[in-house]
Amino acid sequence: MTIINLRPIDLISVWRFLVFIRKKDVTLPPLNRVKKVSLSCLKSKKMKLLGNFGFSYTGLVWLLMLLIPNLIWAKNKSKQYEKTAKENKILLMFERIGQACVCFFALIFNDFNFQKLSLWTIWLAASFLMLVLYEICWLRYFKSKRTMKDFYRSFAFIPVPLASLPVFAFLLLGIYGKVGALIISACVFGIGHIGIHLHNKKH
């Protein structure tokens, strides 16, 4: 059992605080005022389908971090991949459409650029973290024997990280920018891209 030891000085402090509140007649703000403040906060974080048109340097950096290791891999692609990789046509369609939309929307909306440091910036930081882990997974693969097992190997608790991490990165970027178009595109891309990787890993 935990015993709370209240010293006399603590009780005196509590008593003085209660007397102070009574003298000052401290009251809570009206409920309607609290509702207005809450609604204004919600409106400031309101999600929209399309963002503000303008070049996104953040989107460009994100895409470069995605494409550069893929270009290196494409030039040194394992022959084993060509023999074993089989792409479902429906999943491939989702992947291609989602990939094109992600690249397009990530560049044309400046909502993804760094605005100001706030609690909402956590979404941008989390998105960047996904890409950092993505680069680490590529480095792990390039330093390995580059077998199919190495290509599809999980990273910590993340399955097929070379497919999952970029999807999460752009999904979180869409949330940061509050742009529904990128969020939807990332989901479509994820269905195809992650789906193909899981299918290939299984077979």
Band (84; pLDDT cuts 50, 70, 90) = low
Q: Model confidence over 179-192: pLDDT tens digits?
A: 999 999 999 999 99
pLDDT at residue 200 is higher than 90: no
Band (35; pLDDT cuts 50, 70, 90) = very low
d(CA 176, CA 181): 12
Would the pTM count as exceeding 0.75?
no
pLDDT at residue 15 is higher than 70: no
Give percent of the chain with pLDDT exceeding 70: 72
Q: Model confidence over 86-120: pLDDT tens digits?
A: 677 888 899 999 999 999 999 999 999 988 888 98
pLDDT at 34: 40
pLDDT at 128: 95
Q: Model confidence over 131-172: pLDDT tens digits?
A: 999 999 999 888 888 778 878 787 888 888 899 999 999 999
Domain spans of the chain?
Answer: 8-43, 48-202
Question: Does 39 or 49 have the greater pLDDT score?
Answer: 49
